Structure 1
């Protein structure tokens, strides 16, 4: 006998939505109607969570939640009281969800339960709030924006847009904590067209609240989408989205982003400011000019810590290319710069610091300077080879 035999269970939410869209289904969420926590435990389900009863299936480890209703009891997204019990219907549970397209369920026999006509909104490609309860949870604006980055042909219903603006005006969005903002933003950045997430946040007036330092415009939007099209990492996409933000450090601190993301945002701007120094102009090139430019190139490699993290330096080059590609009149020239920097990095990394340190007669205190000079000469030699004659 299966542990779910006799239970009134339904697959709900994203799994149903994605199935109807013909997309691969991820984790399934289940709702159980008419059961008690005691019965779920008796059947072998493992209770998890805190605010309301959620249980893990003893074999599949999928989440089964008891049908519930909720009532606003305070400000922000934590101010809720929940009610679960055998009297809560499936329709009541679905109505508390964020969007109509996420408020559908499948019975065990395959029947679709769609009291809010989410399937119609799927066909129309429309994001619409499931009920006025949407306004009680500011996280839903973040989720809506993230969905826009994933479902790129969907539009936002006008009444839902107005509702979001009212939430911002009423101060609900001010209650969002940085960790939750970053969780949703980071997920949105990894979708197909992340610029749409920022556009929705901007249209709802939430962007200035949750990311107050962000400098956002069409050029940055194109750079961010290019970073997604090139399937770059999260730190790289984050750096692209902050490519024109002067207060990037303050924003990274405000959002409490991982250190790697903050570093990528900072170093992208460092490298971008120095990016045009390569390749060198055609000959004749004075030796003094060549040495001076090599010194500046070496400093760039040092301040970006490319010796210890050459893979990150290559990532930064990709991000800079994304920021340049959207406005570049000559894309090939930008690609040539990437190739020049990559070549210089290779020469820099080939210097054997150990061999330099073992040179006869070299005093210990002079080793650091000798190694740096060897790296400088390697950069000079590389520049000489790649400079047109």
Structure 2
């Protein structure tokens, strides 16, 4: 579907006029369309069928921003930085964002050459603490790189700590990563991530609901978390304190019916306290420790299921039932005769002798003055 230029210009203005996720504006757009919604704000008259009193309370604040909203200049500025505007209904629009209902983005400003919709078809969010520990950074980078090796896109928020580690892990594996920003896609925040954002724009995508040159605020960080959750099949919280933006992303994922996964950490670490709370109190939260656990939750049955975890296979695990019973019947210290071993193992003497011969050949037992004894094997204690 090709969105008419008038619709694109109207949606560009709407991203300037109201903060992202405003459900009152979302309902107005859903009923009237972007162009007519914008006309209603300019006229100051809310259409019938909506909460007119509530809407008209918002109109003055929205109109105050319209004087600075020049859609053609915004589109030109975005194009200068290698970006574009993606609108609902276009081929590149990720339809999973529609799960947000009235709170879905009015449009998305995107920077990078990759296709946003295609890139997010198989995607996972990795989020966590800004003040991350070395443990959290290591886990996030390794998990992100492994997911990239399996051709999964990793979505995060471009912040310090876990977010940056996740993005860098994907880049190290030549995978696709998406950074959802709380500022314009042409704004570098934090400034220390200038190089990281350049790399993401080159091989991945920078995405924002805010227009070019928009600066971040605390509410904008929180509201963008719902977009991170909605874009992906599931959210992994790698590290999070009790009060954390990562917890809000997990909450949005839960409310949207997406998978919520949590990496456990040291019980003494405050940056893992929020993770442990999720595991303890949320029935939906699942413990994950590596990429295979994540794919087991969000992947396709038969293709991405994690292998069953087992301990190391010891030589004695390969023994038959009778040989195992005979081996267990030998005393831990000293030796014993074949008759005594047969009684203890619950087998007849011939079976005991046969098994003892096989066990001796396998290096498990050896003859001694008292009959038979265990042979020490450092690899199979």
Under a length normalisation based on structure 2, what TM-score does the superposition of the two structures give? 0.29
Structure in which a larger fraction of residues adopt helix: 1
Under a length normalisation based on structure 1, what TM-score does the superposition of the two structures give? 0.28
Higher relative contact order (CA 8 A, sep 6+): 2
Which of 1 and 2 has greater Rg? 2
